Chain A
Amino acid sequence: MPNECGQFQPMMSGHLDGELDDDSTRKLQKHLAECPRCSAEYQKLARIVAASDRLRIEIPPDEVWDTFLAGTYNRIERKTGWVAFVVGAVALVVLGIWLFMMEPWASALVKILIAVPVVGLLIIFVSVLRERLFLAKIDRYSREIQR
């Protein structure tokens, strides 16, 4: 494709969508009148756009929307429940480990064997936290946007 034609390619879509300004429209029409290859390309694209305009999604019936909000609240409740469960469980485990470490009858070897995976988990937690904080700094929507 000649270089000159390349610049008119995206403009074809803009024109078919009715989004091209007057000046660009004039330039595009002039080019299409002079270039049979781009003119044929334009016709093919026009049919893609016309067919795409007919795409429709079947919207679910009213009963789905009547229960939509309740379903959303169920999810919110479940998330809240999980967060409470996880926080409580972690706190219990930490407390249990701490109490065990304070026990004079437990051997140093057992204490070390328990301390190593706990330290590993701590390192992972700090690493994830640091990554989240870094992402939050560079983009206010970082927790929502898929990069």
Chain B
Amino acid sequence: MASDEAAILHQAIGGNPAAFESLVRTYQKKAYIVAYGFVGNREDAVDLAQESFARAFKALNRFDESLPFYPWLHRIIRNVCLNFLRKKRRHGEISLNDMVDKGYDPPDGETPDRTAELGELSKAISAAMFQLPHDQREILVLRHLQEMSYAEIATCLGIPQGTVMSRLHSARVNLRGLLEEVKESSLGPRKED
């Protein structure tokens, strides 16, 4: 943990509101992205990110300063989101937006055809992701939306790096299965590959 953050955390635990505000500002977008990965729409994701910080504030005096802050916060977000989903499922009220950024900038050298095709595939993946088990969806969000390394994901989830790799792989295999159900041909090997 960076020494700056350790100092801010120490002050926040001591009841300094400015330090807590600094933590919120640092992690609010990260919290939003994780929540979005669970619930799939902006309004609920913002609400759940706020709720997570409110719970973190209440639990801050129990936080062990020798441990990194973000994994702790991540677990609170996950808990809040899963509770929310459980209640919503009961009432059948889940609404999803897709996760494809129309302004995505493709890498140099990529053909327009491939860009278009991968764009379509991304759209299908964003919809299929919400049919995956929570733990697989969560790890895809951490890898592809938070752009975390395996080591960072392992710390965040409290699992070995080997488990990160196998869980990610299972998630992708399941994704592929779901996509094949929808459109078999879209995943066939391409000639230029």
Contact = CB atoms under 8 A, between A and B. Distances in A.
Interface of B is mostly: helix
A14 B172 CA distance: 12
Interface string A27-50: 000000000000010011111111
Contacts of B83: 146
A45 B172 contact: yes
Interface in A115-147: 140-141, 143-146
A91 interface: no
B168 A51 contact: no
Contact of A72 (B37, B53, B162, B168): B53
Contacts of A52: 122, 125, 140, 143-144, 172, 175
B89 interface: no
Interface residues of B, number: 62
A26 interface: no
Interface residues of A, number: 42
Interface string A60-71: 100011001101
A92 interface: no
A60 B46 contact: yes
Interface of A is mostly: helix
A11 B126 CA distance: 24
A69 B21 contact: yes
A140 B61 CA distance: 12
B121 A47 contact: yes
B19 to A, nearest CB: 13
B75 A51 contact: no
Interface string A88-129: 000000000000000000000000000000000000000000
Contacts of B190: 43, 47
A58 B149 CA distance: 22
Interface of A: 9-14, 17, 19, 40, 43-60, 64-65, 68-69, 71-72, 75-76, 79, 140-141, 143-146
